[in-house]
Amino acid sequence: MPILALFAAAATPAIDANLQPLAFLAGSCWQGELPAGQGTDTHCFTPMLGGHFLRDRHRVMPGGYAGETVYRWDPGARRIAFDYYSSLGLLMPGTAVADAQGLAFELEVLAPDGRPLPMRAAWHRDGADAYLVTTQVQQDGAWHVLPGTPRFRRIGPAPAE
């Protein structure tokens, strides 16, 4: 039994203590079906630079849209911060905090006319190997839930860096 325990411990990559709310994602790939037949979204999470950062690379198929998020601890704000880079050339900064059911994200996207569009998302755990995503956008001072709640499930280990 101790050999199995050592293997299990080695299978979960170490990340910084401040990033522990994201630890369940580290070292794995997750896949979900997007609403309205938009395709399949696959995210692979890998610790980087000694676990001080967590990288999330994702790709939507068909179509090939891709993005990369780098999560880090922001000591000044005392919270997890991230930058999301998209294959469309967009940069979306944001923050993430643990909540009772999983993770809560806040970010800002630039609308096509250049105005900032506040967004928030919740990733709620659905057992050990899945999570549900809900997304909201703020328009005209009110929050609106986007259609669909994709369920992402763990599909295997993230590729080695």
Q: Check residue 11 and give its pLDDT.
A: 52
Low-confidence ranges of the chain (pLDDT < 70): 1-13
How far is residue 40 from each of residues 28, 63, 69, 154, measured CA to CA in Å?
16, 10, 18, 13
Q: Can you give the pLDDT at residue 13?
A: 67
Q: 90: helix, coil or strand?
A: coil
pTM of the model: 0.88
Helix (H, G, I), strand (E, B) or coil at 3: helix
Q: Is the Cα dihedral 145, 94, 124, 150 positive or negative?
A: positive
